[in-house]
Structure 1
Amino acid sequence: MTLVDFSVLALRSAIASGSLTSEALVQESLARIKRLNPVVNAFSQVYEEQALEEARACDREAAEGRFRGPLHGIPMGVKDLFFTAGRLCQRGSTAYKDFAPKATAPIVQRMVDAGSIMIGKTTTTEMGWSGSGNSEFYGPTRNPWNPDLTSGGSSSGSAAALAARMVPFTLGSDGGGSVRIPAAFCGVFAMKASLGRVPAWPWSATEMLSHAGPMSLSARDSALLFNIVKGPDPRDHQSLPDDGADYTETHLPKSLRIGFAPSLFGFDVAPEIGRVVRDAVDVLAAALAVDIRPVSPGWSDPIGIFETLWVAGRGVAYGAQSDLSKFGSGFRGLVEASAQYDLAAYLAAVKARAEFAGSIHALFEDVDLLLLPTVPVEPFAADREAPEGFVSPSQVLAWTGWTPFTYPFNLSGNPAASLPCGLTANGLPVGLQVVGRRHADALVMAFCQQAENHIFNNKIPPLAVAGGKAGWGTPSNPTAEITSWNSTGEHF
């Protein structure tokens, strides 16, 4: 097995043919986690013994010609916001450090039913509140392309673990960009599907923004994974009927209309981000023989709408707790800020969200896909919430100031993917965001699979090739300090 082949599709074929055992694959993942996690801080819990036992069981079944499903024996990392029965779900918070739910989230269960082996939990910002990779509980999650820099968040560890080739795929969630931001910073693929395409459970105070989905090294891998996890679940009242589409299908309509927005809301895009994205768009226009025309949506920045829903929602869910001292300073500040909103302000934001979403849907009367940068800035220091010197328009959510291209599509519910499209002069990945009309998830995925044939092929962080460097990244919180390797599910 080579690093280039460390993908779901390649591993699936190798296990099916008998040229690779699940035990060998899991051992490889565990070895890479053990070597690289002290650098990257992507995993908060690892289930070594349990994962190896499951792998051996998968190998016995395969030897008898029995396969659990399309992910038979392939390990995965699960963001530590997803419930898994009987295992810690710490949510990046001291307040939940001992919490173990009794039920498993639908997305996790569907992957397990398809044969995947959960190898551990990946780091996240506290309750998924921030778009950076900084955590007072786990310590900062670092970018495999440069460990001085942030992975992005809040699916921090899920993206960093992929980029470092610790696991073939991971699970993440996205309420304002939380799979797309770290995917762009770490050079991996992630799609936030249409709202409800993948069931999200348990209930979230920002359910109208919240999405769940897989993250992977390629759109082709994610196409298979989305085929497995999409479809309704009775616990999520927003979940959509299965669209019946095969997301591995790559056919594109001949009359495809594509718009390209170099920026939104007049935001200044970092020159290197702009250059890489424009070059990628030019390559795709020629390689796919499609017409990509510039568009300038006349939308107003909905940052106020988003923040009202995001902050006030957290206040409803957590503000009634008498003791907020167990929450980190960032999340605690968010909960405390929720007191400034009343019911009238919240309902006004709900109404404004509907109007803004309508303006996005109107654009897709004229185009089938919209291309734009995923994030307009390069990764910044790992222990920061925003680039140094950046002045955010928000007093509470600094991260929304530098992520103006992701949260709009949470407000509208459109499918939006981040596709690696090149490297800056600093050797850092850039994400091309591909947005489709609501419920056109299969089209977004088909375009991304076609596009990845022509941009950013097989680029791997030097760290993932060379291995870890001792001494990098001691977590700031002693409770998250890496002290030993164990299989109990506690911090290691």
Structure 2
Amino acid sequence: MNNDELCALSATAVVAAVRARKVTATRVAEAFLDRTARLEPALNTYVTLDAEGALRSASEVDQKIAAGQDPGPLAGLPVSVKDLVAVGGLRQTFGSVLYKDNIASADAPSVERLRRAGACITGKTTTSELGSKAVGDSPLTGITRNPWNLQFTPGGSSAGAAAGVAARMVPAALGTDGGGSIRIPASFCGLVGFKATFGRVPVWPASATPSLAHVAPMARNVADVALLLDVITGHDARDPASIAQAPLDATAQLHKPVTGLRVGWVADAGYGHADAEVLEACRVAALCLAACGATVSNASPLFETDPNGAWNELFYGSIQDRVRSIGGNDLAALPLDAGLKAALARHRPVAQEVVNQLRLNAVRRIESLFAQYDVLAMPTMPTTAPPVGVDVPAGHEGRNAVDWSYFTYPFNLSGNPAVSLPVGLSGAGMPIGLQLVARWGDERTLLAAAAAFEGACPFGDRAMTVA
């Protein structure tokens, strides 16, 4: 296989080829690194590219295979890691000038598990500052661009992760999600982004937003994210929110039938609307599940009142504490993203008991919907990708740089598992994503539904501007 053929392989296919000795892990790494060298100047996906480390890991996989040893379930798979997640020995900047020289002392649990499974970490990908907005730029790294159209954002905050996977610079990526940050760029880049139940994937060292943050995989199809989930899920005592759990066995869920599954179509968040083109594409796509044996019916709006009061306090209050611990109390003097600085300046602390009640109200509302449905379906985002340099797109003014993501952040408040799936392209040629959400702790149903949807409504590999 030539380089283009190798880079077109899914993550599952890469691992299968390496394990079957059809190609060496080193050859795979070289192909993806070569593509990265060609496309990185246009896209700006990496904060730190660790080509040497990736090739070293690939060589170790090849040596194990040559010795007849098991190279692991991710043998030779290149995986990028978002710069909010620690990779020992590499910079961990959080997309912020405040942390520009920070070096992680140890791997995060998810990175440890990827390495043990035979993955080759390619480096650290770009993020908006401290994961603080739904688009892909920061004062430290500048603008990351969408490979579908370089004039548009890949979304955020897992911007480099999404742009790199969409451009086939890497077959899979590890990102984070505190308000939608894996699902938003997955939607904007035509990818699958899966946020598991809160605590299913351990987070350590602690996130700047510890009560909201998830570590999450992104890839080009459902089988690929399941492959990563089977490696990165599981209890870790270093994370106080980590849940004791039986193995998820994600890959085994992909062929389970969804006959009789009750799907509720949510057309309205109750406090924000999706653009007409996005809404119609997602409505039609959700009906694909009916062809698989599920029943699809209209659900009531997510909420009667916006739950962003609780989310904003938990998110911006936590970030404000983190920023002040590093840069001091004079926020105006700090070299922060302008939108983040404005949001922090506007932020006024809310009493913890008030936040707790608001969050509980949101959780109870979502639980009430799952008394009627097994899965909820809705647009992931209200729009397709905005142009670069735009924090909040036209028609959605009056929101901050994250909470215009009406359909994503409520499920960080509740902790429910959620996945964004590509459904097609807009008239302007930009991807549209459908979000499926399941009950708290029920990734198995969500994975089965996602796989069934993908089979009935395949997105496939589409041509992109940079491809």
Query: Shorter-chain TM-score category?
Result: over 0.9
Shift of 1:298: 5.7
Match of residue 195 from structure 2: 192
Confirm or deny: 8 A CA contact 1:193 1:416 kept in the other structure: yes
Shift of 1:347: 2.9
Correspondent of 2:418 among 404, 411, 416: 416
Give, as a single letter, the amino acid of the residue that structure 2 aligns with 1:315.
Q
Confirm or deny: 8 A CA contact 1:414 1:439 kept in the other structure: yes
Q: Deviations over 1:345-376 (max 9, x none)?
A: x4311221012111101211111000000001
Q: How does 1:140-155 map to 2 (within 5 A)?
A: 140-155=143-158
Q: Deviations over 1:101-154 (max 9, x none)?
A: 212111111101101011111100111111111222111111111110010000
Does the alignment pair 1:87 with 2:90? yes
Does the alignment pair 1:296 with 2:300? yes
Does the alignment pair 1:264 with 2:265? no
Q: Deviations over 1:320-343 (max 9, x none)?
A: 4426523333333333334x225x
Q: After the TM superposition, which of the residue ranges 403-412 and 36-45 deviates more from structure 2? A: 36-45
Does the alignment pair 1:318 with 2:323? yes
Compared with structure 1, are the counterparts of its residues 335 and 391 closer, same or farther at alpha carbon in structure 2 (3 Å cutoff)?
A: closer
Give, as a single letter, the amino acid of the residue that structure 2 aligns with 1:387.
P
Does the alignment pair 1:454 with 2:452? no
Shift of 1:24: 1.1
Q: For the residues of structure 1 that align with 2:182 and 2:340, how far apart are their CA atoms?
A: 19
Confirm or deny: 8 A CA contact 2:61 2:75 kept in the other structure: yes
Shift of 1:449: 1.3
Where in structure 2 are there 5+ consecutive unaligned residues? Answer: none
Q: How does 1:40-439 map to 2 (within 5 A)?
A: 40-249=43-252, 250=254, 251-265=256-270, 267-286=272-291, 288-297=292-301, 299=303, 300-320=305-325, 321-322=327-328, 324=331, 325-338=334-347, 340-342=348-350, 344=351, 346-388=352-394, 390-393=396-399, 397-401=400-404, 403-439=405-441
Q: For the residues of structure 1 that align with 2:98 and 2:401, how far apart are their CA atoms?
A: 23
TM-score, normalised via structure 1 length? 0.89
Confirm or deny: 8 A CA contact 2:7 2:170 kept in the other structure: no
Q: For the residues of structure 2 that align with 1:385 and 1:3, how far apart are their CA atoms?
A: 35
Shift of 1:189: 0.4
Confirm or deny: 8 A CA contact 1:252 1:443 kept in the other structure: no
Confirm or deny: 8 A CA contact 2:359 2:414 kept in the other structure: yes
Q: After the TM superposition, which of the residue ranges 184-193 and 301-310 deviates more from structure 2? A: 301-310
Q: For the residues of structure 2 that align with 1:417 and 1:407, how far apart are their CA atoms?
A: 13
Match of residue 474 from structure 1: none
Confirm or deny: 8 A CA contact 1:187 1:431 kept in the other structure: yes
Secondary structure of residue in 1 paired with 2:456: coil
CA RMSD of superposed structures (Å): 1.7
Q: After the TM superposition, which of the residue ranges 49-58 and 157-166 deviates more from structure 2? A: 49-58
Confirm or deny: 8 A CA contact 1:297 1:363 kept in the other structure: no
Secondary structure of residue in 1 paired with 2:446: helix
Q: Deviations over 1:455-481 (max 9, x none)?
A: 23323242353xxxxxxxxxxxxxxxx
Confirm or deny: 8 A CA contact 1:164 1:461 kept in the other structure: no
Q: For the residues of structure 2 that align with 1:279 and 1:191, how far apart are their CA atoms?
A: 21
Give, as a single letter, the amino acid of the residue that structure 2 aligns with 1:459.
D
Shift of 1:3: 6.3
Residue-pair matches, total = 457
Secondary structure of residue in 2 paired with 1:231: coil
Q: For the residues of structure 1 that align with 2:95 and 2:423, how far apart are their CA atoms?
A: 30
Give, as a single letter, the amino acid of the residue that structure 2 aligns with 1:355.
N
Give, as a single letter, the amino acid of the residue that structure 1 aligns with 2:341.
R
Q: For the residues of structure 1 that align with 2:410 and 2:395, how far apart are their CA atoms?
A: 24
Q: For the residues of structure 1 that align with 2:165 and 2:208, how far apart are their CA atoms?
A: 29
Give, as a single letter, the amino acid of the residue that structure 1 aligns with 2:298.
P
Q: Deviations over 1:249-272 (max 9, x none)?
A: 221353311111122115332122
